[in-house]
Amino acid sequence: MLLAAAAVTALAIGCKSESNSSSAGAAGSAGAAGSAAPDPWAATSAPKPPETPETRKARAEAAVGRVVSIEPEVARIRNLTFEHEVPAHFQPTEEFQGYVRREIAKDLPANRSRDISAALSHIGLFEKPVDLATIEEQALVTQAGAYYDPDTKQFFLVAVPDSELFLDTISAHELTHALQDQHFDLHKYLPAGSALDEDVSNARRCVVAGDATFVMLLYSVRKVIGERIPAAALTTLRGQIETFATQGIAESKAQLKSQAALFTGLGGDIQKSIDAMDDIPPSVLVPLLDAYMKGALVALTAYQQGGWKAVDDLYRDPPESTEQVLHPATKLFPVREHPHKVALAKSPDPELTSNVLGELQWRVYFTLWKIANPEGAASGWGGDHYDVSRRKDGRLIGRIATIWDDEAAATRFAAAYVASVAARFPGADTSHPEAGIAREGGGKIFVRRTGTRVLIVDGADAASSLDALARAAKFD
C-alpha cells in the first residue's frame, strides 16, 4: 500500500501562496491565510548554481535530518502522539519506481490487469485501450513527492524541490500518515485486494490523504503566522479548500500547469509530475488527486463539526461511498446518507471483473465523454454494481445496475448515459435505447429506467438481456 504526498498537491499549495487572487491551490495556502504574512514559497531572484546529483542528495539528506524536529510539531497539530519515531530516508527515483511496480503487482498481476483493463475499456471508463497496471505505475511514480510505507513503518522522500519549507511540508504530510498508522492501523483501514469495493476504497483514501493534507496545510500556516491559528485564518483556509475542491479535472490540470511556471526553484521532479498528467486516464488520475483535494475538505468539515475527535471517528466509522465524501456537509455530516447495496447474480460467462463505480467514477465517466454538467448527471446516486464477462465467442458483455435518490435523478442519469453512448459511438442511433443502440465490436447497448432504477447491458444481442438483468439485480 502506497501512501504518498502528491507533488502536484504540494505545488498547488505553493501556487496559491504565490498569488492569493488565483483559484488554484490544492487546499489553500500558508500565505493566503494571513494577508500580511511573508511568502515563504516565492522563488528567490538570486541565481543558483546548477543542480548536481551530489547537491540534490545533500538537500534530501538535510530534509531527512529535519524530520525528527518536525514530528513533535505534527503531533501537536494532529492531537495525536507518536508511539515511536518514524525512520526517514531519501530514495532515488529508480528505486521508488521498483517499489511501486512491486506493490501494484501484488493486486494487479498481468492477467488480472489485462482483464480489468479490457472490462473498463468496454464500459467506457477508458477512452482508448490501456494497461491498468502500467497506468497506475505511471500515475504514482510521476505524482508522488514522498511516501509512507505501512509495511516497513518508514517514510521515504523521493522528489527534492529546491525549498526547505516545501520539503518540510511534504514531511509533515508523511508523518501524519505514520500517526494514522500507529493509531488506526492503515492496513486494516485500507486492506489489500478486493476486501472493499472500489468506491468504498476511494472514499477511505479521501479520509487518509485528506487528513494528511489538512495537517500539512496547518503546518505551513503555522510556519508563516505563528503557533496559534486564529479562527479567521481557518475560515479563509476553508474558502480556499472549497474553491479547489469544486474544480473539475481539466481546470485543476490547467491551473497547476500555468502556475508551475511561477516556481523556478522547485526543480525537475515537480515539473515531471505536471507534464505527465495528460498521459494518465481520468478514471485513474481523478481519484488520485481528489483524495488530496476533496479529502482535505472532508477532514476540515469533520474538524469543524467536532475537532480532531470527529476526524478520528472517520477511521473508527469510515465513510461508505464517494457520494458521502464529495458532499461532506450534507451527506456525511450531520447525518449520513447511506448507499443502497446492489448485487448481481453471477453471470453464466467467465467474469473479468465486478465492482462499484460510485458517484466519483460516474462524474469521471460523464466528464470523459463531454456530457454537459457531469456532476449533475451523477448527483442523486444511491448505489450501483457492474460486472463484465466474456462470452465463448470472445465478445464482452457489461451489466450495470444503478439506483437513484428519486425518479428525477434516475431520469437525468439515463439521459446523460444515452448521450454518452452517442459520444462513444458517433453515428449510432440512440433514439430507442431500450430497444438497443448498435456499438462497435458487435452487439448493442440497452438502457432501461424503471422508477428510480436504471439498468444497462452493454454488448448483448437482444433486449431480453434487460429482463435478465432485472432478475439478476438485487437492491437493498
State pLDDT tens for residues 134-164.
999 888 877 678 899 999 999 999 888 778 8
Confidence of residue 274 (pLDDT cuts 50, 70, 90): low
Mean predicted confidence (pLDDT) in 281-286: 92
Mean predicted confidence (pLDDT) in 124-134: 93
Domain ranges of the chain: 3-332, 342-475
Alpha helices in 132-197 (DSSP H): 132-143, 164-184, 186-189
Residue 142's region, left for phi above 0, alpha for psi from -120 to 50, else beta, is alpha
What per-residue confidence (pLDDT) applies to 384?
Answer: 98
Q: Which residues are CB-contacts of 128 (< 8 A; sequence separation ≥ 6)?
A: 121
Residue 153's region, left for phi above 0, alpha for psi from -120 to 50, else beta, is left
What per-residue confidence (pLDDT) applies to 17?
Answer: 34
Confidence of residue 20 (pLDDT cuts 50, 70, 90): very low
d(CA 251, CA 240): 15
Instruction: Give the model confidence (pLDDT) of 315-355 as tens digits.
Output: 999 999 999 999 999 999 999 999 999 999 999 999 999 99
d(CA 142, CA 124): 25
Instruction: Give the model confidence (pLDDT) of 52-111 as tens digits.
Output: 888 888 999 999 999 999 999 999 999 999 999 999 999 988 888 889 999 999 889 999
**Of 179-188, 223-232, 435-444, the least confident:** 223-232
What is the secondary structure of 321-384 as a DSSP string?
Answer: -HHHHHSIIIIISSS--PPPPEEEPPPSSPEEEEE--HHHHHHHHHHHTT-SSHHHHHTTEEEE
d(CA 268, CA 159): 9
Cell digits of residue 365: 465517466
Confidence of residue 16 (pLDDT cuts 50, 70, 90): very low
What per-residue confidence (pLDDT) applies to 194?
Answer: 77
By percentage, how much of the chain surpasses pLDDT 70?
Answer: 85
Q: Report the half-sphere exposure of 464 (CA within 13 A, side-chain side).
A: 2
